[in-house]
Amino acid sequence: MSNIIIKLDKVGIGYAGREVLSGISVSICRFSFTAILGANGSGKTTLLKTILGLLPPVAGRMEAAPSGERLIFGYVPQASRLDPVYLLTGFEVALMGVYGRVRPGRFVPQAERALTRQCLQATGAEEFSHRRFSELSGGQKQRVLIARALATHPDILLLDEPTAGVDHAATQAVMEFISQLHKESKITVLLVTHDLAAAHRYAEQVIWLDDGKVFQGPVDKLLTAEHFNEILTGTMD
What's the half-sphere exposure (Cβ side, CA atoms, 13 Å) at 26? Answer: 25
Query: Which residues of 39-193 form beta strands (DSSP E)?
Result: 59-64, 73-76, 156-160, 188-192
Looking at residue 1, its pLDDT comes to 40
Please compute the mean of the pLDDT values over residues 175-182 and round it to a whole number.
Answer: 91
Looking at residue 87, its pLDDT comes to 79
Taking the C-alpha atoms of residue 117 and residue 106, their distance in angstroms, rounded to an integer, is: 19
Please compute the mean of the pLDDT values over residues 10-21 and round it to a whole number.
Answer: 89
- Read off the pLDDT of residues 189-232 as tens digits, 9 standing for 90 and up: 999 998 888 999 999 999 999 888 899 999 998 887 776 666 55
Looking at residue 66, its pLDDT comes to 62
**Burial group, residue 235, by CB count within 10 angstroms (0-12, 13-18, 19+):** exposed
Least confident of 17-21, 101-105, 148-152, 174-178: 101-105
Q: Where does the pLDDT of residue 236 fall: very low under 50, low under 70, confident under 90, or very high at 90 and above?
A: low
* CA torsion through residues 102, 97, 50, 178, sign: negative
> In Å, what is the CA distance from 126 to each residue of 43, 88, 89?
34, 15, 11
Question: Taking the mean position of all CA atoms in its chain, how far away is CA 169?
Answer: 20
Looking at residue 231, its pLDDT comes to 58
Domains and CATH numbers, the chain: 1-71+156-166+181-237 (3.40.50.300), 80-154 (no CATH)
